[in-house]
Amino acid sequence: MLTQELKNRADQLGYIDVTENNPTDLKKEITRLKEEKNAVFLAHYYQDAEIQDLADFVGDSLALAQKAADTDADIILFAGVHFMAETAKIINPEKKVILPDFKAGCSLAEAAPAKEFSEFVKQHPDHTVVTYINSSAEVKAYTDITVTSTNALKIINSLPEDEKIIFAPDRNLGKYIMKETGRDMLLWDGACVVHEAFALEKIVDLHKENPHAKIIAHPESEMPLLKVASFVGSTAALLRFVQEDEGDAYIVATEAGILHKMREAVPHKNLIPAPSKEDNTCACSECHFMKMNTLEKVYNCLQYEYPEVNVEEDIRVKAIGSIERMFELS
């Protein structure tokens, strides 16, 4: 039972902090609770392996949004970050959406505060506002079209060539889109700390040690890295590439969580995480926010159906249009 005291503590910490009397087999209990409560368990590729293995569906931002739109579950348990759970709630206002750690945020979403972004949009009333899905519900409310790294090129190319475009919040993805499409866009100055953490010199040195390995990178990375990459694509596209490509070794420049699914898909191939600027134990770049979710937090979240993600109805109504437009153009 979710007591007021437990709720207040969860609001302070960001998650349900209960360890006493928790089952020893968390995976079994999570599976039981899912069935009992008619809950669907969605997880992003960047989650820890044990969470990915237990989820009903694992995907990138676009696939997860599509899955959330199609579910007939009563509860959506979202192992990802806050904007992803918000997106699910925008799409499914009648469903309960819960997030294991409410404070699992996103540097990109935080880079575009709603008040400043709304003022920026008002200063350019003749521009179509295209916003990366890594943004808050409030920012989506000022957006004409939401995009993901999977569909951004297709959607930008679908717009008239003379259409003026604001692209937010990721300047790196924006620069990549401009390079690939030849479009001139007005960019918001935000970035993903995970993808900006890659050390180009270390990656080049690593490639010298592994000359047959292809460098593959997410378009949230900085342009110098993208220029040396053999393939640039969304998380799902990178996963598909290592499966379909004839090569046998890859230096993977995106959040290290994707390596779990890659190694499952191509266990015979050599998958090398791209190193970050900071020397760390994994010799890779990890998202601190994604790793805030744990199996125990997942269990408590589902057991108590909290923390719950809600979006004010007036914001939701404004934001849903940009997501529906994305689905139409995808």
Q: Is 93 annotated as a binding residue?
A: no
Q: Is 330 annotated as a binding residue?
A: no
Q: Is 157 annotated as a binding residue?
A: no
Q: Is 44 annotated as a binding residue?
A: yes
Q: What's the angle, vertex CA 162, arms to CA 161 and CA 163, rounded to 5?
A: 95
Q: Is 149 annotated as a binding residue?
A: yes
User: H-type helices in the chain, by residue range?
Assistant: 4-13, 26-37, 49-54, 61-70, 82-91, 107-110, 114-122, 137-140, 152-158, 171-181, 200-209, 223-228, 235-244, 258-265, 295-304, 313-329
Q: Is 304 annotated as a binding residue?
A: no
Q: What's the angle, vertex CA 13, arms to CA 10 and CA 15, rounded to 5?
A: 55
Closest among 118, 101, 155 to 318, alpha carbons compared: 118
Q: Is 133 annotated as a binding residue?
A: yes
Q: Are 146 and 322 in contact (CB under 8 A)?
A: yes
CB-count exposure of residue 179 (10 Å: 0-12, 13-18, 19+): middle
Q: Is 273 annotated as a binding residue?
A: no
Helix 258-265 crosses helix 235-244 at what angle (to 10 degrees)? 20
Q: Is 158 annotated as a binding residue?
A: no
Q: Is 260 annotated as a binding residue?
A: no
Q: Is 301 annotated as a binding residue?
A: no
- Strand duo 145-147 + 128-132: pairing: parallel
Phi, psi of 36 (to 5 degrees): -65, -40
Q: Are 301 and 98 in contact (CB under 8 A)?
A: yes
Q: Is 207 annotated as a binding residue?
A: no
Closest among 230, 225, 264 to 247, alpha carbons compared: 230
Q: Is 287 annotated as a binding residue?
A: yes
Binding residues: 44, 61, 106, 132-134, 149, 192, 218-220, 235, 287
Binding residues for iminosuccinate: 44, 61, 132-134, 149, 218-220, 235
Binding residues for [4Fe-4S] cluster: 106, 192, 287
